[in-house]
Chain A
Amino acid sequence: MPEELNDKPADKSLKGKALEAYNWVEQRVQLQAPFEEAMLHPVPKSTASWWYVFGSAAATLLMLQIVTGILLALVYVPSGAEAWKSLQILNHDLPLGWFLRAMHGWGSNFMVAVVLIHMAQVFMFGAYKFPRELTWVVGVIMLLMTLGMAFTGQVLRFDQDSYWGLGIGASITSRIPIIGAPAVQLMLGGPIIAGATLTRFFALHVFVIPGLLLALTGLHIWMVVKLGINEWPMPGRRVNKKTYIREYHELTHKDGLPFMPGALWKDAVFSAAILLAVAVCAAIFGPYGPTGQPDPTIIQTVPKPDFFFLWLYAVLSYLPPALETPFLLTVPAVGIAILLALPFWAGEGEKSWHRRPVAVMVLALVAVSWGTFTHLATFTPWSPVMNAWSGANVPEKMTHNLSPVERQGAVILQSKQCRNCHALGGEGGQRGPALDDVATRLTEDQLIRQVVQGGGNMPAYGKSLTPSEVTALVKFLDTMHPANQPAATDASRAAVAANTPAAVPAPAAQAEPAPAKAQ
C-alpha cells in the first residue's frame, strides 16, 4: 500500500508543490471526503433563502467571541483587586485595546440577538418537528449557555453594575427554598461578593460554558448536516413520521441543489455583514464601561443590568411582592420545560405559519412583551430619581402669587425628597404620579391623609413631618391645578360648613352679602 501514496509524478511548479503538500496532509488526515459530503449534500432549493442565514451567523459570532476573548485574556487579570484596573489599561493604555473590548461586548449583544432571531425563525418554520427534535433541544441548551455567557461576561467587567448585579443574582438565588443559603455561598464562592466570586465566574465564562457551547455547536451542526436543512414550510404539507424521510429525500433529489455554493453563499454574505456591523458598532459606540470601580462602600450608584436582562429588571419591579418569589422560582423552569417539550408535543403536523395561528400569536406576544419590558427598563419609571430633590427645582411659575405658607409648602416638597418620586413640570421621579394637577384629583383632606399615612406605594410621612409642615405642604399642593380647573373639594365639607352654628346666624345675615356679591 505505501507505494500508492506516492504514485504521482513530481510537479516542479509552485501550484504543483502546493497541491503536493495538500495531498501529503490529506492522505494523512483524510478529512476531504467527509467535508465534501457535508458541503455538497443536496438541500431543498427553497432553503437557499435569506431566512436561513441566522444559524451560521450565530456560529460566526461565536468564533468572533472566542478570538476576541482570547485576545482580551492576554491582558485581563481575574482578580478582585486588579480586574477593573486591567480594563482601564485595555481601554486607555494599550493600542486598540478599547476596540477589542468593544468588539467582544458588541459581539455578545449581536450573538444573543442573532441566536434569538434564529430560534424564532426555527419556531416559525416548524423546523423543530420530526426528525429534528433533538437539534431543537440542543439549540435550547445552547441559548441558555449564550445567556449564561452574557451574564458571566458582565460579571467579568467587575465594575459597579457588575458588583450590584451579582448582588441581585445572589438575592434571587437566596429565594430558593431550603438550599437558598448554601446556594448563595456557592455562587459567591464565600460569604460576600469578592475576589472568589470573580474567579469562579471567570472559570465559567472562559472554560466551562465555552467548552460545552463549542461541543454542542459541533453536535448541532452535525445534526443539521445529517438530518438535512428544514424545507420551506408549505401549508397543507404535514409532517408524518412514517413518510417524512421519504418525502424529504424526494424533495432534495428532485428539486434540490448542493448546499455549497447554492445556499452557502448567502450564509457567507450575511456572516460578513454581521461581522461588519459588530465592528461598526464597536468603532462608533466603543466598549461597555467599565463604570465605577467595584467599591461596595460607594453607594451613590444606580445599578442596571445589561441590555438582555433589562426585561427581567422591569418584571421584578412590576410584580406584586407576594408573587415575586413564586415567579422567579417557577417561571424560568416552566419556560425552559415548555421549550424542551415543544418538539415532542408538536413533533408532527403543519409546519407553515399560515396554519399555526397559536404559534404566531405566542411568538408575537413574547416579542411584544419582551420589547415593552425592555423599553420600560430603559426608562425605569419605577425607580426614584435619587438627586431630583436637590437637582430639579420647583418650576418658577408654580410659586407665583402664593401665600407665605404655600411657599413654605413648596420648600418642604423640595427638601423632603418628594421630587425623587413625583415629577413637577416633567422633571423628577415617575414612581408616584406627577403633582402638576394633583389638586384636581385629591381634596385637601385626601392630600393630608395621603401625606401622613402614605399607602399605594408611598411611605407615610406622618413621623417625619410636623403638623405645621403637613399643613404647609398640603396648602401648596392644593394650589396645583390648572387656572381653568378648580381644585377638588369635598362635597360633605360644604354641607358641614353650611350647617355649622357659626353659619346659622340667620337668613338675614346670609341674605345681606348676597346682593353685595351680585354687585
Chain B
Amino acid sequence: MTENNHTPDLVEAEHHTVQDDPKVVTRRWILMGIGALLNGVVGIAVAVPVVRYILGPIRKKGAYNSWISLGSATQFPAGETRLATYENPFNRPWDGETAKVACWVRNIDGQKFQVFAVNCAHLGCPVRWFPQSSLFMCPCHGGAYYQDGSRASGPPERGLFEYDYKLVRGELHIDAGQMPTLANPASPNSPGEQSANGGLTVITNAPGGCGSCQKS
C-alpha cells in the first residue's frame, strides 16, 4: 500500500499555466469580476421571490380571522360552559384532525355569551373547565381562571383569550382563525368592539358543534 503511495499530483506537478503579462491578467480579472457581479444580480433577483415565499405565512393582523359558526346557540344551555369544536377556515387538505379547533362556550344567561380559547394564556396548554368549582384549570403549570375567563391564580399574566361573538339567526358565530397567543389575541379587536369585524365573511364549518353537549 505504502509503496504505491507516491502517485503523481497532476495539479502541482509543474506550473505550465500561461504566464500572462499584467495587462492581459487585468482583462481576465475584469471578466472574472463581471462573472461574479452577474451571479450577484441574478442571485438577488432569485432570492427576493424566495424570501417572499418563506415569509408567505405572515399576514396582517386579523387577516386570518373570519366569522365562524359554532352551530345553533340552543346547544349551549344557559348558565353552563361547554366545549365546542370547529374546523379552522384556513386549512390545507393534508391537515387532518389538526384543522380542528376547540373553544369553551359560556352561556351566561341565555342572552349573553362568552367564548374562550382553550389555550392557556401562559404557554398555550389546553385548559379544562370544572363546573363544580366554576374554574378553568391548566394541566401544565397550574394556571386557573374564573368562569368569566379572568385570571384566578398561577403563572398566566392575563385572563383567557376571548373570541368576539355574535348571534346570527339563532346561530353562534365567533371571530376566530388563528391560534391565540399574547401577540395574537383570539380576536384582533378588543372585546366590546364586536361590530368591527362585521364585514368578514361567515363560514359555516362546525361539523362537531358543541362537543360536550348531550345530543337530544
A contact residues vs B (CB 8 Å cutoff):
1, 4-5, 8, 19, 22-23, 26-27, 30, 32-33, 79-82, 163-164, 167-168, 170-176, 180-186, 188-196, 293-297, 299-303, 313, 316-317, 319, 321-322, 324, 382-384, 386, 389, 415-418, 420-421, 431, 454, 457-461, 463-464
Given contacts A168-B124, A171-B122, 9 further A-B contacts (CB under 8 A): A167-B124, A174-B184, A190-B64, A190-B90, A191-B177, A195-B91, A299-B83, A460-B152, A464-B134
The contact of B157 among A185, A297, A321, A459, by CB within 8 Å, is A321
| A-contacting residues, B48-64, CB 8 Å | 54-55, 57-59, 61, 64
A321 to B151, alpha carbons, bound, how many Å? 12
**Contact, CB under 8 Å: A416 / B132:** yes
B97 touches A293 (CB 8 A): yes
Q: Chain B contact residues (Cβ within 8 angstroms of A): what range?
A: 35 or more
Rounded to whole angstroms, the CA-CA distance of A61 and B204 in the bound complex is 51
Query: What chain B residues lie within 8 Å of A26 (beta carbons)?
Result: 4-5, 7
On chain A, the residues within 8 Å of B64 by CB distance are 190-191
CA distance A198 to B209 in the complex (A): 26
With contacts A296-B97, A317-B141 known, is A416 near B57, CB below 8 A? Answer: no
Check B98–A171 contact: CB distance below 8 A. no
Q: Which residues of A contact B139 (CB under 8 A)?
A: 301-303, 383-384, 386
Asked whether, in the complex, the Cβ of B134 is within 8 Å of the Cβ of A296, the reply is no
> Residue B42 at the A interface, CB < 8 A?
no
CB atoms of A415 and B132 under 8 A apart: yes
A186 touching B57 by the CB < 8 A rule? yes
How many A-B pairs have beta carbons closer than 8 Å: the answer is 229
> What chain B residues lie within 8 Å of A180 (beta carbons)?
181-183
* Among candidates B92, B102, B130, B208, residue contacting A194 with C-beta atoms closer than 8 Å: B92
B152 touching A295 by the CB < 8 A rule? no
B135 lies within 8 A of A316 (CB): no
User: Is there contact, CB below 8 Å, between A319 and B155?
Assistant: yes
How many angstroms between the C-alpha atoms of A172 and B124 in the bound complex?
Answer: 9
Please tell me if the beta carbons of A27 and B7 are within 8 angstroms of each other in the complex: yes
Would A171 and B100 count as touching, CB distance under 8 A? no
Cα-based distance from A303 to B124 in the complex (angstroms): 10
Assess the A193–B97 pair: CB atoms within 8 A: no
Q: A27-B7, A296-B98, A454-B152 are in contact. Are A175 and B134 (CB under 8 A)?
A: no
From A196, A303, A317, B92 is in contact (CB under 8 Å) with: A196
Contact mask for chain B residues 8-49; partner A; CB cutoff 8 A; 1 contact, 0 none: 111001000000000000000000000000000000000000
Given A184-B183, A185-B57, A416-B133, A19 and B96 contact (CB-CB distance below 8 Å): no
Q: Is the CB of A192 within 8 A of B90?
A: yes
Q: Which residues of B contact A303 (CB under 8 A)?
A: 125, 139-140
